[in-house]
Amino acid sequence: MFREIVFAALVAGVVGGLFLSALQSVRVVPLIYQAEHYEVAANDSHSSAEPARTGHAQDGEVWAPGLSLERFAYTVLANVLMGIGFALLLSAAFTLRSGVGWREGLVWGLGGFAAFNLAPAFGLPPELPGIAADNLEARQIWWFGTVAASSGALLLIAFARPVAFKALGVGLLVLPHLIGAPHVGDLGSKVPAELAAAFVSATLVTNLLFWLVIGGLAGLTRLRLGATRAAGATIIILGLVPNMAG
């Protein structure tokens, strides 16, 4: 069972991470580059920001990957590791249900997207570089709390039989939004509103497709591994029956 969970997560996570990277390179990364141009243009005209764009640490400055191949490689690595982590959660959660295939995996993936991306985005939508905001620590705490509450809420609504527990799930789902995300101080934005809105839309769509891929692949891989194991056990039993009869 443990090997099935890990193997399914590796397959789904690697494929999902590569798929997400490809989508981001087409839909999301160009928007980030545009926002960075606005950010650089709004700064002083001198080249103080240039070392951060070269990908080399100079005079004690923090190292950052370059804009081209190096940056893309680190993005792919981060997406693959993230995909494996999320796929591990999904594959382990599949043990709550028997016979989970790719169709059920899509539903689980949709739930993961709702908990990790959609619900937090109602209070803290994805932000482009150049959009200044404060209260970072408070926003992170609210994000983690929203993910935890939304995950628990969806599990209660989907699997709890007593109506009271389902009602509790609904309450958990709306609780973070009743509390409200931490106030984001208006420190001035260098990015046009249209570009920020396009980034939110592109980010949510790419993450939705990412979750559907890892959910469907994880479910399909678990189902195939389970069928292979069952077939192997059947062959062993059929091989033992003649010996026992003899």
Compute the distance between CA of residue 21 and CA of residue 100 in angstroms, rounded to an integer.
Answer: 27
State the DSSP H helix or E strand holding residue 188, giving kind and residue range, or none if neither.
Answer: none
Residues 6 or more apart from 3 whose CB is under 8 A from it? none
Question: Contact, 224 vs 101, CB < 8 A?
Answer: no
**Per residue of the chain (246 residues), what is the pLDDT tens digit?**
778 888 889 999 999 999 999 999 999 989 988 887 876 665 544 444 444 444 444 444 444 455 577 888 999 999 999 999 999 999 888 887 766 788 898 999 999 999 999 999 999 999 887 665 667 788 899 999 999 999 999 999 988 889 999 999 999 999 999 999 887 655 556 778 888 899 999 999 999 999 999 999 998 988 777 555 544 433 433 444 454 445
Residues 6 or more apart from 149 whose CB is under 8 A from it? 172, 173, 175, 176
- DSSP reduced 3-state for 189: strand
Question: Contact, 4 vs 94, CB < 8 A?
Answer: no
Compute the distance between CA of residue 242 and CA of residue 129 in angstroms, rounded to an integer.
Answer: 70
- DSSP reduced 3-state for 193: helix
One-letter amino acid at 200 equals V
Query: What is this structure's pTM?
Result: 0.79
For position 39, what pLDDT does the model report?
67
Which phi and psi (to 5°) does residue 189 adopt?
A: -115, 135
